[in-house]
A and B are shown apart, each in its own frame.
Chain A
C-alpha cells in the first residue's frame, strides 16, 4: 500500500528530517508532540501537530497507547518512531501490528531478538559472526571458570543494560566474583533483569558500524560502514563514512558479517550492526544491532546519495528494497559533528534554555540537520542535540577542511554548546590522521587540559 499519512512519533531534528522526506514523497504528516515542543520547527512544518501530553517524556513521547491512539485518531496509515523514545520498544511495534497500523521499522519479534544482548549474541554466533569471547554467567563460580579461560581484563555486563550502563571492568580474577554479584544486584534494581554476562575487555578498539537495509523476507543489503570511534563515555560525538585507514579486506568482512546477521533474522527496515574492531589483532567482534534509524545516518546518505528515511518508508509500505547491493557505490568521504547544548568546561553538563540567535553554516558539501531556529527552546526534558553538521568532500581531507570551515562559521547564542570543543577536536593531529580508537577523545581531553595548565603556568 502507498502511505497517505504518517504519524511522526518523535521530536527535534529527526522529526523534521522525517517530515521533509514525507513532503518529498507527497505523504501527509502528523506530528505527535509534547506540550514543550508545540512551537518547535517540526510542529510548524508538519501538516498537523497533535499534543500528546506534558513535556516529561514518560507522560508524552514514551506513552505507547497514546501514540497509537493518536495515529488512529488522525487516520494515519503508519508511524515513524525516529530514534530513541519508542523506536526500539517491541510494545509499540506490536500495538501497531494489532491495530492495523504500519510500524516503520522491524517487526516486534525482531526488536526483541536484537534488544536482548544474550539473544543477539546467540544470533550472531549462529550467523557465524564473531562475538567477543565470553558468555552468560549465573553464579560467581561459573564466572570464575569462564574468566580463567578468557583471561583479564574482563567486562561484566548487564543483559538489560546499554549505552555504557550496567558495566563493570575487572582487572584481576580475584575481584571477579564480587563484581558479578554487585553487577547482578544493580542490574536487577536498574533494569528489572539480574542476568549478567562476562566477556573479554578489548582495550584498544575502533567502533565501526554497518548500515543495512532488509526487505523483511531475507534480502539484505549494506550501505557501507561508519566509524564512530570519537566517543566520550559511550556517547558518539563525531562520525564518518567510510571508516578511514581500514584495510579493504577487513571492511568487506565487516559488511558481509552485518548482512549475514540481518539476513538470518529476515530483518525488515533500516538497521545498524555495530562492531568493535581490534586494531592490534586485525579482527572484529559483534557488539549489538540497533533496530532503528541512527543519528549519524546522514554521513551514509552523503556518500551514497540514498535517502534512508525514504527507503524505510518504501520497505514498511511493502514495496521492498529499491536498491541492490551493486547500487552501493560510495563517493568521497563525509564527517558529522553533533552540536549539543552542553558545557564542555563543566563536564559537558546539559545547558537547556532559549537559543536567542543561531547561524548555521552552508556551502558546497555542507548539510545541517537541525530543528533549531532563532528563539527555539531547548527543554530540559530531552537530549541536548541541537543539530548535526555534515561535511562531504571527494576525499577525507577535503571533507575535513569543509567541516572545519563550517564549524568556524556557526554561531549559537543563548545556550552553551560544544562548538569550540569540536573546533579543537577536528584540528587535533590525531583526528586529522584518522583511524583512531575509542580512547581518542579521553586522550584529547587529557592533552587539552594539560596544555591549558602549561599555558597558565607559562
Chain B
C-alpha cells in the first residue's frame, strides 16, 4: 500500500476534524507522523493504536501524557466514555466475534461498548449515555489506563 499526496491531505483533514493532537501511522515501511500545531511532541496516549507494531516481544514504551487525553473539550455534545479501571480492553465479547459497537452505531445508557479484563476478570463497560459513536480511541486487546478515553459518543439532541 502506498500513500498519495491526496491520501495525506485526506488524513490531515481527518486529524484536523478529530479531537486528537497527534497521529502516528505506520504501514509497509512508511511512517507518517502528524502533530497539531502546539501539541507537545510525544503526547500520544498509550492505548492509541499504532499500526503494524514491530514483532519484538517487548514494544518500546511510549511516554505517557502527563494528563488525561484532552478530547474535544470545546464540543459539549460529545461524551467521552472513559476506562473505569486499568486493564486490557476488548471491543468484542470473544476473539473473532463482532465488536460490541462500531463507529456510527447508536447506543443508549445500557449498551455494552467493551470489556476490560483485569487478571481474567471481565468488567463490562457501558455507554451510560444516549448517542452515536463517533470514534473508538483505543485498540482491541490493548492496555488501557484508568480514566483513559475509550470511545466518543455524540449525544442525541435533547438527551
Binds B, one of A36-44, A144-152, A297-305: A36-44
* Given A48-B46, A66-B118, A5-B61 contact (CB < 8 Å): yes
Q: A53-B85, A70-B143, A75-B57 are in contact. Are A48 and B121 (CB under 8 A)?
A: no
Report B108-124 CB contacts with A as 1/0, cut-off 8 Å.
Answer: 00000000011101000
- CB contacts under 8 Å to A, within B105-155, are 117-119, 121, 142-143, 145-148
Q: How far is the CB of B122 from chain A (nearest CB, A)?
A: 12
Docked complex Cα distance between A95 and B118 (Å): 13
Whether A69 touches B87, Cβ cut-off 8 Å, given contacts A44-B66, A48-B61, A74-B61, is: yes
Q: Does A54 contact B (CB under 8 A)?
A: yes
A43/B86 in contact, CB under 8 A: no
A35 touches B118 (CB 8 A): no
Q: Does more than half of chain A's interface fall in helix, strand or loop, or is it mixed? A: mixed
Residues from chain B with a CB closer than 8 A to the CB of A44 are: 66
CB A56 to nearest CB in B, in angstroms, measures 12
Is B96 an interface residue when CB atoms closer than 8 A count as contact? no
Query: Smallest distance from the beta carbon of A93 to chain B beta carbons, Å?
Result: 15
A43 to B123, CA, bound (A): 27
Contacts of A30 in B (CB 8 A): 61
Interface Cβ pair total, 8 Å cutoff: 69
Residue among A54, A60, A65 having the largest count of chain B Cβ atoms under 10 Å: A65
| Closest CB pairs A-B (n = 5) | A73-B143, A48-B61, A65-B119, A51-B145, A75-B58
Whether the pair B63, A48 counts as a contact (CB closer than 8 A) is yes
- Asked if A137 lies at the interface with its beta carbon under 8 angstroms from chain B, I say no
Contact of B64 among A28, A50, A53, A69 (CB under 8 A): A50
- A94 in contact (CB, < 8 A): no
Known: A48-B62, A49-B64. A35 touches B147 (CB 8 A): yes
Interface centre among A39, A50, A68, A70 (most CB of B within 10 A): A50
Indicate if B59 sits at the interface (CB-CB under 8 A).
yes
What are 10 A-to-B residue pairs whose CB atoms are below 8 Å?
A5-B58, A5-B61, A35-B146, A35-B147, A48-B46, A48-B63, A51-B145, A66-B87, A70-B86, A95-B119
Complex-state Cα separation, A376 to B88, whole angstroms: 31
Q: How far is the CA of A49 from the CA of B42 in the complex (A)?
A: 13
Q: Are B85 and A38 in contact (CB under 8 A)?
A: no
Please give the distance in Å from B49's CB to the nearest CB on chain A. 15
Q: Which residues of B contact A47 (CB under 8 A)?
A: 61, 63
Asked if A69 meets B67 with Cβ closer than 8 Å, knowing A5-B61, A52-B146, A75-B57, the reply is no
Which among A4, A54, A68, A95 is the interface contact of B146 at CB below 8 angstroms? A54
Chain A interface (Cβ within 8 Å of chain B)? 4-5, 28, 30, 35, 38-39, 43-44, 47-54, 60, 65-66, 68-70, 73-75, 95
Cα–Cα, bound, A49→B66 (Å):
8
Q: Which among A4, A50, A68, A95 is the interface contact of B145 at CB below 8 angstroms? A: A50
User: Are B57 and A53 in touch, CB under 8 angstroms?
Assistant: no
Q: Once the chains bind, are A73 and B88 in contact (CB under 8 Å)?
A: yes
User: Within the complex, what minimum Cβ distance (angstroms) separates B40 from chain A?
Assistant: 12
Q: How far is the CB of A294 from chain B (nearest CB, A)?
A: 28
Which A residue sits closest to B60, measured CB to CB? A28
Check A51 against B61 for contact (C-beta < 8 Å).
no
Determine how close the nearest CB of chain B comes to the CB of A62; give it in whole angstroms: 14
Q: What residues of B have a CB within 8 angstroms of the CB of A43 in the complex?
A: 64, 66
Which residues of A are found within 8 Å of B62, using beta-carbon distances?
A: 48
The listed residue (B57, B88, B147, B148) touching A69 by CB distance below 8 A is B88
